[in-house]
Amino acid sequence: MPDAYILGIESSCDETSAAVVRSGEETLSNIVASQIALHQPYGGVVPELASREHLRAMVPVVREALAKAGRTYTDLDAIAVTQGPGLAGALLVGISFTKALAFALDKPLIAVNHLEGHIHAVLLEERQKGNHAVNFPVLALVVSGGHTHLYLAEQNADTWSYENVGHTRDDAAGEAFDKVAKLLGLGYPGGPVIDRLAPHGDPTAVKFTISQMKHPDRNDRNKNDRNKAANPNQHFDFSYSGIKTGVLRYVETHNMREAADARHRALSAIAKPKLEDYLAHCDREVLNVVASFQRAVVEDLVSKTLTAARACEAATLFVTGGVAANSELRATFERQAAMEGLHVFFPSRPLSTDNAAMIAAAAYPKFLAKQFAAADFCAEPGLALR
Ligand code: KG4
Ligand code: ZN
């Protein structure tokens, strides 16, 4: 099979990204223009602003991706774009741009599910390291600002398929990180800040509990069930809105609100706060809340995922998405999966969060299978992965 160069485009949330990837195994370029600074004053992503910023950044980002890869438009074999899930207006910018480009260049167009992209971020980097063999069944935890999903992934020739065996019933884990950081006056996005502050607090100081879902027959899941369509009773679900409320209650009962507002004002006045700036504005109580919150979420993610891995008899575990960048999550997964003889793979940190290389990598099997998008395909903000 000759090499195939795919231009990937991602605009589902607050990152405008373009990448050139060769045959799903070599990243020639992966340009990410982050909108964090734009949304920071609002403490979260403002959809309308995100769409406008994608429109502004798209052409320069794509030009930079091609220049860095040393390729021209005519070198491309296909163009891939995120179809969903994501913010409707943000997705439409990437899709409209990609359709126009594919039409003008007369190149095949490939629509990619963003969540499949996160899974292929792991595969891309493993192939890049020369590791082409994956032991199935693969269980993938996709954990980000918008999602906390568990998928069993199968590969048949060039076709990948996915069975959802768990998801969050309410907030995604990343959303809980972002909301808790906002509550404590630590700014947006919350995950990276909490990650860096947590080692400075005592993770056993505050007992935050996480809701446990009732799964009457989840232990009944057997080998024969593995290929069946998901049964709602066989899910390994998550829930993070309760812990967010738990932190809110703690902040209120311990009179921490006023100090959090002052912290927010002080940190907002610093252009790019460093760890020392955060530490200078956090007392022991705040650091303890941060460390205890992170410990509770990490333990819940790891224990539920490993329970699912055991029940599904997974041979390999992927942990991917923005929250997979978390240091404590990585260390805990590595330690506990090793005790069960389970191999766990993470993307590098830049490939954990949203990027277009993962979209171009996920598009490659579709390119081989000639699964091209129809000219009238549209954005699907709630697109499910199957
Ligand atoms: O995958 P991603 O870039 O976008 C979505 O598809 O949602 O994930 C962004 C999410 C945010 O909630 C952010 O706070 C979280 O990932 N995140 C982290 C870390 N880095 C990013 N959460 C915990 N620890 C981190 N180091
Ligand atoms: Zn994502």
pTM: 0.94
Whether cis (ω within 30° of 0) applies to the bond prior to 203 is no
Q: Are 170 and 241 in contact (CB under 8 A)?
A: yes
Q: How far is the CA of 259 from the centre of ligand 2 (A)?
A: 32
Domain that holds residue 206: 148-156+159-314
Note whether 121 and 39 are same-domain residues: yes
pLDDT at 86: 98
Low-confidence ranges of the chain (pLDDT < 50): 217-233
pLDDT at 247: 98
Q: How far apart are CA 15 and CA 355, in angstroms?
A: 7
The answer to the question of residue 140 being in a domain is: no
Note whether 16 and 117 are same-domain residues: yes
Note whether 296 and 189 are same-domain residues: yes
- Residue 174 CB–ligand 1 contact under 6 Å: yes
Q: Which of 174, 207, 198 is nearest to 327 (CA)?
A: 198
Name the DSSP class of 204: T
Mutate to test the pocket of ligand 1, among 122, 323, 359 (most ligand atoms within 8 A of CB): 323
Q: How far is the CA of 114 from the centre of ligand 2 (A)?
A: 6
pLDDT at 214: 67
Ligand 1 atom nearest to 181, measured from its CA: 14
Question: Could you tell me the CATH number of the domain that includes residue 47?
Answer: 3.30.420.40
Residues 352-374 have pLDDT tens digits of: 999 999 999 999 999 999 999 99
Quickly list DSSP for 176-231: HHHHHHHHTT--SSHHHHHHHHGGGS-TTSS---------TTGGG--GGGTTSPPP
Give CA separation, 278 vs 93, 169, 274, 328, in Å. 35, 32, 7, 19
Q: Please give the structure tokens belonging to residue 322.
A: 């923005």
Note whether 99 and 245 are same-domain residues: no
Note whether 195 and 259 are same-domain residues: yes
The total number of structural domains that make up the chain: 2
The answer to the question of residue 281 being in a domain is: yes
Note whether 172 and 298 are same-domain residues: yes
Q: Which of 235, 213, 254, 380 is nearest to 311 (CA)?
A: 235
pLDDT at 123: 98
pLDDT at 234: 60
- Residue 115 CB–ligand 1 contact under 6 Å: no
Note whether 167 and 288 are same-domain residues: yes
Q: Please give the structure tokens belonging to residue 190.
A: 């919350």
Quickly list DSSP for 291-330: HHHHHHHHHHHHHHHHHHHHHTT-SEEEEESGGGG-HHHH
Neighbours of 286 (CB within 10 A): 23
Note whether 22 and 166 are same-domain residues: no
Secondary element (H or E) of residue 153: strand 148-156
CA atoms within 13 A on the CB side of 309: 26
- Residue 8 CB–ligand 1 contact under 6 Å: no
The answer to the question of residue 108 being in a domain is: yes
The answer to the question of residue 319 being in a domain is: no
Note whether 63 and 183 are same-domain residues: no
Note whether 126 and 152 are same-domain residues: no
Note whether 178 and 120 are same-domain residues: no
Q: Please give the structure tokens belonging to residue 51.
A: 């769409």
The answer to the question of residue 343 being in a domain is: no
Q: State the residue for tokens 């795919």.
A: 6
The answer to the question of residue 378 being in a domain is: no
Ligand 1 atom nearest to 352, measured from its CA: 1
Residues 126-182 have pLDDT tens digits of: 999 999 889 999 999 999 999 999 999 999 998 999 999 999 999 999 999 999 999
Note whether 171 and 260 are same-domain residues: yes
The answer to the question of residue 213 being in a domain is: yes
Q: How far is the CA of 283 from the centre of ligand 2 (A)?
A: 32
